[in-house]
Amino acid sequence: MMNIPCNCAKTKRAPRERKRVWNQAKGRDLSGYGGEPGYPGEIVNETTTANYAMIDWSNAKEAVLSPLHNLLAPPGLPCLTCGKTISDKVTGYPEICSSCYASIPWITSVRCDICGRPVGCPDCSRAGKEDRRFVLNRSVVSYNGMMREWLAQYKFRGNEALGSVLARMTGAAAKRLAKELGERTGTGRFYFDAVTYVPVSTDRMMERGFNQARNLALEAANVLGAPLMELLIRSKHTEKQSFKSRWQRLRDLNGVFLPATDVEGLLYAVLSRRTSRGRGKFPLSIFASDKNEFGNAYSYAPIKLLLIDDVYTTGSTVDTCAAILHETCALLGRPAEIYSLTWARS
C-alpha cells in the first residue's frame, strides 16, 4: 500500500501563520503567546493608535450591518388579490398593491339617484315599475370581473383577510352616504338609528362560517356610530340569485325574509337611544321641508335604518327586506325610512 504523506502540520500551521501576519499588520505580534488575541501581555506598538484612527468606522458599520439586515428583515408582503410583492403601500389598504388599488372601479358619481348606478338604469326608469320600499341605494364599486373575483375569493375560497379590505371600503362609503344625506337635509350630517344587514340561510352560514353582509355592516356601524342590529332572519335557503331574472328573484324571495326574534324590543331600544341623545342632533327626514314638520311630536319621526348587502343587482333582495322592515316599524306605530348600502353595483 502506498503511503500518502500527511500535510496536517502545514494545515494547522496555515491559519496560525495568517493570524500572525494579520496581527503584525495591525502593529501587534502575538505569535509568542499562541496567537490568541487579547492574551495577557499582548504587545501593542506605537503604530496601533494610528492604524485604528485610519479606519472609517461608518463604512465598517454599514459593511457589517447591511448583510445582517438583509438576512433578518422580513420580505415584502404579497398582495391579497394578485399575490405580487407589495412595494408601495396604499394608505388605508396596506394589504393590496398599488396596481390593484388603481384598478378598483370606484363609483364616484351616480346617474340613477334611486339605485346608485353610475350609468343609465333601465330598472328604475322603465314605465309601470313598482315603487321601491327603500329611499335609495349607494354602492362602493361597480361589479366588474375584478370585483367579482375579489368577492369570490372572500366568500367562497376562504380568503377572509380580504374581507377586512371590503369592510373598510364599505365603511368609507357609509361615511360619504351620511354626508350626502346631511347635505340634503341641510344639517351637515345625517344620523341613522340603526344599521342592519341582509341575513344568510343556516346552510350558507354552516358552509362559509360567516355572513359577509354582517361583516360589512359591522364596519359601517362603527364608522357611523350607530348600533348594529339583527332585525331580519332568513327562513329558508334559496339558490344563488346571480343569473336569475327579476321575476325569478321576486318569486324565489317570496316569504324568505322574516322579522328577527324580539325585533320590536330592538327597535324600541333604538327609539330610546334616539331620545337620550336629544332631538337637536337628529334630522327628522330627508323628506322634511322643515325641521319642525312634525311639530313637537318628535316621537312620530320615522325610524331611519341602513340596510347592508354585498351586491345590488336588480334591487329585489333589498326591496324585499325593506318591506319587512316597514311592516316591523309599523308595529310600533312609526314610519320607516330604509336606506341601502351595498359593496358592489352590478
Regarding pTM above 0.75, the answer is: no
Contacts of residue 260, defined as CB under 8 A and 6 or more positions apart, other chains included, come to 230, 231, 232, 233, 266
Lowest-pLDDT range of 90-99, 202-211, 337-346: 202-211
Q: How far apart are CA 142 and CA 131, in angstroms?
A: 24
User: Is pLDDT of 13 > 60?
Assistant: no
- Give, as one character, the DSSP assignment of residue 240: -
Quick one: pLDDT at residue 165? 95
User: Per-residue pLDDT for 45 more than 70?
Assistant: no
The pLDDT of residue 255 is 79
What pLDDT does residue 32 have? 44
Could you read off the pLDDT of 214-268 as tens digits, one per residue? Answer: 999 999 999 999 999 999 999 876 666 555 555 565 566 777 899 998 898 999 8
Question: Of 48-52, 120-124, 330-334, which one has max mean pLDDT?
Answer: 330-334
Q: What is the mean pLDDT of residues 273-301?
A: 52
The strand pair at 136-142 and 336-345 is best described as parallel
Which stretch of DSSP H or E encloses residue 309?
strand 303-312
Average of per-residue pLDDT across 82-99? 91
